[in-house]
Amino acid sequence: MAIKYRSCILTILCLLSAMNTSGNELSAEINLLADQNSLAVFETNLDSRNLNPIGLAEGYALIGARWEAFERQENAHASYSRSVSLLEPFGASPELIQALIDRSYMQYLLTGSTEDYCPDGPDD
């Protein structure tokens, strides 16, 4: 039991370490992209990188933020949605919550409707 538990912890630590390293590298690369065409090409090639699902989700979240900077809400919404779909299988996490918030805000900007702002929230 203790060995299994220790193995699980080591796996999680390795994933977190890989996520931080790849996230920092991705962030630096994305920040260097000066135009929308470069960002679109980068996003198209992101899936072919050797990233774990959490690192890939972080990449899509970073790309979503960059699309926001270019005032391309549709693209940002799509990137945040991809991030959400990659993170959901892992359960609740700060990264998933942030991706849901970012996607909801893009949804609001696209529709202008406060009723559509949080489609992931509880039904009243």
Q: Tell me, what CATH number does 102's domain have?
A: 1.25.40
Q: What is the pLDDT of residues 15-45, one digit of tens each?
A: 444 444 456 888 899 988 889 999 999 999 9
Residue 73 lies in a domain: yes
**How many domains in the chain?**
1
Single out the residue of 28, 58, 29 nearest to residue 41, CA to CA. 29
pTM value is: 0.75
Single out the residue of 112, 29, 47 nearest to residue 86, CA to CA. 47
pLDDT of residue 12: 52
Residue 83 lies in a domain: yes
Residue 122 lies in a domain: no
With bands split at pLDDT 50, 70 and 90, how would you rate the model's confidence at 11?
low
Domain that holds residue 14: 2-111
Residue 120 lies in a domain: no
Residue 118 lies in a domain: no
Residue 58 lies in a domain: yes
Percentage of residues in the chain having pLDDT higher than 90: 58
Question: Which residue in the block uniquely carries the two structure tokens 């980068």?
Answer: 42
Residue 123 lies in a domain: no
Residue 124 lies in a domain: no
CA distance 118 to 113: 10
